[in-house]
Amino acid sequence: MIDKKGIVTIAGAGPGDPELLTLKVLKRLQDANVVLHDSLISKEILKLVPDDAETVNVGKRCGDGQDQEKRQERINAMMIGYALEGKYCVRLKAGDPFVFGRGVEEVRALMEKGIEAEVIPGITAGLAAANMLQIPVTERNRTSSLLFCTGHTASYSFEQFQGVLALLREGSPVVMYMGMKNFETIVNRLLDAHLPVSLQVSIVSKVSLCDQKVITGMLETIGDVIREQDIETPVVFFIGEHTLPVKELFSTSTGFLNTSEKEELQ
């Protein structure tokens, strides 16, 4: 075991299921003096932290009213403070630290103070959902590119939005994070751009957890389907020509599937 005093590990916890946590992250949690974790980290994963380690929830939730820049500055200061005290700090982030996770900002803050930073990847929710639901986001001779984006797509410039449209038109799927608030606006922009009304959409709520939900539909009608369902965040959206699950794991009448229904079909 290496001496980790004064080191900060920025680790990806994956989408939520503790069995999707990497062995390396598990080892780091067991060695930690303090764990600074996101609010989306599951209780099952937090139970893996030793009882004598300090755990601090530094996460944000949608609509919590926090100034996110100041919040990030506080997290950076906490990591630096613990490291300078000679403690081993694990910054545990949902998904993957470098996929819409501000991981690089935290690395830079540590480097500026001369503090060693280790980064351990995690399974990002978009790839976890694609695998678990067998959504073919890439496939030989069919789909050769893939776009990850956030709900900020709703306010993309004309040039940025044209890039998204070009990928969708040539068959590349879009995997979108943090898009629930702006999803209706995004759908309307895509329809206004004359994308096919039958373009496939899959929406996955609470990826990998026991209450995971899946909604599927077409671009023209998905907004109505969403309004009829109670969808809990976090949510990942799949939009594109090949974004329905390979297996028919959804109800043909409602386009809705909960985890228990899925298990009965398997």
Backbone angles phi, psi at 82, to 5 degrees: -65, -40
61 or 85, which is more confident: 85
Residue 2's pLDDT band, with cuts at 50, 70 and 90, is: low
Catalytic, 176? Answer: no
The sign of the CA dihedral 214, 219, 222, 223 is positive
pLDDT at position 211: 92
pLDDT at position 217: 92
Residue 1's pLDDT band, with cuts at 50, 70 and 90, is: very low
pTM, to two decimals: 0.87
251 or 147, which is more confident: 147
As a whole number of angstroms, the distance between CA 178 and CA 24 comes to 27
pLDDT at position 259: 45
Pairing of strands 200-205, 213-218: antiparallel
Task: List all residues 6 or more positions away from 264 whose beta carbon is below 8 Å from its beta carbon.
Answer: none
Catalytic, 79? Answer: no
**Considering all CA atoms of the chain, what is the largest pairwise distance in Å, rounded to the nearest integer?**
59
pLDDT at position 128: 97
Residue 90's pLDDT band, with cuts at 50, 70 and 90, is: very high
pLDDT at position 195: 96
- Where is 214: in which H helix or E strand? strand 213-218
First to last CA, the chain: 42
Q: Which of 4, 17, 38, 79 is catalytic?
A: 38
Q: What is the pLDDT of residues 50-80, one digit of tens each?
A: 999 999 999 876 566 678 889 999 999 999 9
Residues recorded for the chain: 266
As a whole number of angstroms, the distance between CA 178 and CA 107 comes to 23
Q: Put the strands of the sheet holding 235-240 in their side by side order.
A: 147-150, 174-177, 235-240, 200-205, 213-218, 256-258
The answer, yes or no, to whether residue 248 has pLDDT greater than 80, is no
Q: Which of 178, 180, 206, 262 is catalytic?
A: 178
**DSSP summary character for residue 143:** B
Mean pLDDT over each residue of the chain, to the nearest integer:
89
Residue 249's pLDDT band, with cuts at 50, 70 and 90, is: very low
Catalytic, 70? Answer: no
As a whole number of angstroms, the distance between CA 205 and CA 126 comes to 11
| The token pair that represents 147 in the structure block | 């776009």
Phi-psi region of 60 (alpha: psi -120 to 50; beta: other; left: phi over 0): beta
